[in-house]
Structure 1
Amino acid sequence: MDKVSFTRLELYNLVWKFPIIQIAKHYEISTMEIKNACSKMEIALPNNRYWNKPEYKRPKAPKLSLDYNGNNQIHILKKRYEMQFRHTSKSSPLLDAVHQIKKDLSDFLIVKETLENPVEIVLTTKGYFKNLKQNDRKDFLEILNLNVADKNLNRALLFMDAFIKLLKYRGHQLIKNTNEADIILFNNGIEIEIDLREALKRITIEGKRETSEYIFTGEFIFRAKRESIKKEWRDGKILLENKLAIILAKLELIANEESFFTN
């Protein structure tokens, strides 16, 4: 099956019985699609602290709202990157777009090992983080919103430099909005917000009772959102550097669909 279906009650029971990541692995769907489905069906989600407590200490799940007037069933497609490429003979708009990008832009899909003629915002971002200890103010500089460990900053800059150059070649551009978010302005006028960050892991500090902190894991996450549409790509067996084609293809498909519905 290429999709999984849930009723509103079924999804509600699942997300309050199991962590979303377990549900995603079991049904072979993405955690982001589960969150989107819950948002559409007005299902509240437990926060991360909920699962850190013993079951007997967890608060009761809030009751489903009776004011909900939407669909009682939702379908979630199995769209994992690895699954899309297991059967390469089966065509789809996304797969066709990926193949075309790889064919036309193979030279632009390579993330360099060093910065070569970086775009201005990447160069400015590099300088800002280099001098961060001396000056912790942005002073109206336009820099990328990156949330990564210092040791992985260079990798983040290399990835974003390649991605922005790829956007420019396709006729799109990266801009900053009034909230200083990173926005892709597509050539059809559609805007999609993006960010690159490193996953965090919660650890307990030894010797301090019930004290914990979050540390970077080295796993990069590239996220995109436009209103209720949210997508993300993570490092896995395939690193983000090797997912440029599918990221761009998916974002362009979203922009084209949004343009169709807004015009």
Structure 2
Amino acid sequence: MHIISREELYEQVWARPMTKVAADYGVTSTALKKTCDRHKIPTPDRGYWAKLEHGKPVRKKPPLPTLTGTKLDQVHINGGTSERQSEEVRNAATEVRERLQSMNLDAAAAAALTDPDVKEPSILSATRRAISKGRPDTQGFKSSQGRGIVPLKIAPNSIDRALQLLTRLFALAETEGYRPKISDAGLDLATEDVAIAFGVEERPRKTPHEPTAAELKRKDDNLLIPLDVAHLSGMISPTVPI
């Protein structure tokens, strides 16, 4: 655990991108942003560092608000598993987040896609149970559907990967104000006035067709022309009456 002053954290988040400061403490930028909000610490706006780098106007650094009490003066930051990762791994994760941010994603969205500590939400438990119990069809795919269950059609060895995808999708959607909502047809991502239904379907991998022996023989038979007919077709010409 790291314990720093509110003023110190304020200076840090205005000196470097949130992703880099968060990496130093072994937390995600999303978690650090929430910590700043809880301690009434203003943070740079979305795209602040990219604009600053390209010489574009940015919002000036606001003063740190004065608090009436001392309860929030000290900031406690609990590092996650990323704190135990090597410096190379942390730097690589930071680089990915920064690249995502350059694609007009804010820090929270970038962290949702790259954070190794994002946990599978409990609302996906029904989906995991349903897809795990499903029986493979003739193509080898399992399916899941029903109330509160994300419609899936995936191979058995893709279950964990699909649930990881949904976990990150939910985390990313949350940064945009969407929350999972149970519906009769499945599990939607919804705001107060919008609901988005979705599902995941894995398609068979397309591989070149290898013709069977019977198909090759049938093809050869279709190409064969009787020798006498071929000979005659080259010898006969239309007659012109005199």
TM-score by length of 1: 0.35
TM-score by length of 2: 0.38
Instruction: Choose between structure 1 and 2: higher strand proportion.
Output: 1
Instruction: Choose between structure 1 and 2: higher helix proportion.
Output: 2
